[in-house]
Amino acid sequence: MSNRRWTVEEIEYLTESWGKLSVATIAKKLNRTEKAIIEKKDRLKLGSFNVNSGYISLNELLRYMYRNNSNSYIKKNMLNNGLPTIDKKINKCSIKMVNIDDFWVWAEKHQNILNFRSLEENLFGSEPMWVKDKRKTDYENQLKYKSNEKWTEDEVARLRKYTELGYSLSKISEELCRSKSSIRRKRYDYYMV
């Protein structure tokens, strides 16, 4: 094991490369072990590899946006609506990653399927102007609709009837006092799509 001191140039290279190059590449370039790179990164408080790269894993993104909710349906819905992702290999695992800048461009076009009420302001850096209004609207809608109440059998029956009659999501939302996302989820759960 080497106790070779870090040079100023090595520290600068590590700082500039963190999040852009793999740990293995940095280690090879600096002729150090991957463990040494990680330890130095921790001492320098460089933070998460993903945050520094401008990317976040899709699962992390969902966890920040939809706390305490199952996100398999939301994840599938986002991917089906063209959320741009790339597969990145991190420590021998393949993870779906989202570029934050690409996410904001996509999100603006797909506001109707997203809910920003739980997303901490500026968590991913500066946000586009429209996000503040969307977050406020989503919070107000949470208060307006029965978001935490269980669906009754009668409500499910009415939802089935309204779906068969071809009512729009907005109309069903008015009739049942439920959010559009709640209605979409219930339709998905009961195969009413």
Structure confidence by residue, pLDDT tens digits, 109-158: 999 888 888 888 877 778 899 999 999 888 877 766 666 678 888 889 98
Question: Angle, nearest 10°, between helix axes 100-109 and 130-144?
Answer: 60
How far apart, in Å, do the first and last CA atoms of the chain sit?
A: 61
Place of tokens 């933070």: 47
Which position has the token pair 């989503």?
138
- The CB-side HSE value for 4 (13 A sphere, CA atoms) comes to 13
In sequence order, the 6+-apart residues with CB closer than 8 A to the CB of 127 are 104, 121
CB within 8 Å of 38: residues ≥ 6 apart: 23
pTM above 0.85, yes or no: no
DSSP letters for 22-75: -HHHHHHHHT--HHHHHHHHHHHT---HHHHHTEEEHHHHHHHHSTTS--HHHH
pLDDT in tens, 32-84: 998 898 888 888 877 665 555 677 788 888 888 877 555 677 888 899 999 99
Helix (H, G, I), strand (E, B) or coil at 98: strand
3-state secondary structure of 94: strand
